[in-house]
Amino acid sequence: MADKDSRRVVPVPSGKIPVIKGMVAAGAGTGITPSAPVLTVPRREITDADREFAERIAQVVKAVIDSGKYKPPLLPEIAVTLSAIANKPEVPIEEVEVAVSRDPVVAAKIVSVANSALNARGAALSSLRGAITRLGIFQVRDIAFQVVAGTRLFRVPGYSERMKELFEASQAAGMLAREIYRARGEISEAAYLCGLLHDIGEAVILGIIGEASRVRGETPPSLSRIKIAVDGYHAWIGAWVCKQWKLSDTVTDAILDHHTPERSTDPMQMAYVLALADRLLAHAGIGTEWQPITKSAAPLFQALKLSPERAASLLRLAESLNSMRAEWALPSV
């Protein structure tokens, strides 16, 4: 295994909040250094008021996490169990079946996906074991996380519309990440999960801000006011959350670096794959404003050694994703 960058394993000493040009140093106290500048510059000019408000938001988020009282959303037992099972070199089908059968919602979803047009082969399946056998442990794990994401992770009062967009974009990112590897002639068992969770940091930030606003009896600030802070902090917070969940280094590192993939040392280039998936989402206008692919995206295709034909195929796939959005809606709870 390649040596890990020390920024990922050496925790920053606790104490006073480090300040970089008036902004809180993202990642302080978490053991994870930010993969992007503290402020990601949007296309409009950043005003002094924007910077001041972003600093206040950053202080709130940082203080909550450093308090030691904040805990990331708890993963249900089904997600924890399947994640652990997927890391085993050999797994009896009975062990997977027992774990999944404890969660009827996940079990029903697995049978449904196994019988979908994409996966159906021959007669329709009615048994959970048959569905697990058809899909395999990694896709079963991904389905469990998809259900968990829709019912627990992307649920933030005050920002429900943004959560709907984020859940759609996360599922689309998972699909695109998997297809990017296929376009390279490779298979990654972590691609869908990385795509699904790559922006989980935004949901966590909005949750912290929403709760702080509720305690103060205030209306949560608009997305436009907190965009700068979210852009600058969501990657390291998402990586920190995945680290708390004890997900693999592949997942944590890719989420940390998905806006600056050149910093990643992962030989599978997962950070580059997520960066390209993000750019394809913008090309389709899913989860963000519509930004057609231009020549500026060429370095991503080149870094992943994707031919012009493969690149064109991925662009067509991205453009077709809007027709699937009804399937990705947040479930009613």
Cβ contact 263:283 at 8 Å: no
The helix/strand/coil state of 322 is: helix
Non-local CB neighbours of 106 within 8 Å, separated by 6+ positions: 78, 100, 143, 144, 147
Question: Which alpha helices (DSSP H) does the chain contain, by range?
Answer: 48-66, 77-86, 93-101, 104-114, 128-135, 137-148, 160-183, 191-197, 200-216, 223-244, 249-257, 270-284, 298-303, 308-320
Residue pair 257/264 in contact (Cβ under 8 Å)? The answer is yes
Is 132:110 a contact under the CB 8 Å cutoff?
yes
H-helix or E-strand spanning residue 19: strand 19-20
pLDDT value of position 45:
65
pLDDT at 11: 31
User: Six-digit token pair at 167?
Assistant: 């859940």
Considering the four listed CATH numbers 1.10.3210, 1.10.1900, 1.20.1290, 3.40.50, the one that applies to the domain covering 6-70+154-328 is 1.10.3210
Which pLDDT value is given to residue 331? 65
Sign, CA dihedral 9-14-19-23, equals positive
pLDDT given at position 304: 96
pLDDT of 91: 83
Token pair belonging to 56: 């206040």
Considering the entire predicted model, what is its pTM?
0.78
**Domain regions of the chain by residue span:** 6-70+154-328, 77-140
Q: How far is CA 56 from CA 8, 136, 200, 209, 229, in A?
A: 26, 46, 21, 11, 9
pLDDT per residue, tens digit, the chain (333 aa), is 333 333 333 232 233 322 223 333 334 444 444 333 333 334 456 677 877 887 788 888 878 887 877 888 888 888 999 988 988 888 889 999 999 999 999 999 999 988 887 777 777 888 999 999 999 999 999 999 999 898 888 988 889 999 999 999 999 999 999 999 999 999 899 999 999 999 999 999 999 898 888 888 988 988 888 888 888 889 989 999 999 888 999 999 999 999 999 999 999 999 999 999 999 999 999 988 888 888 888 999 999 999 999 999 999 999 888 777 666 666 655
* Angle between helical axes of 200-216 and 160-183 (0-180°, round to 10): 170
* pLDDT score at 117: 74
Q: Give pLDDT, residue 119.
A: 75
β-pair partners for 20 = 23
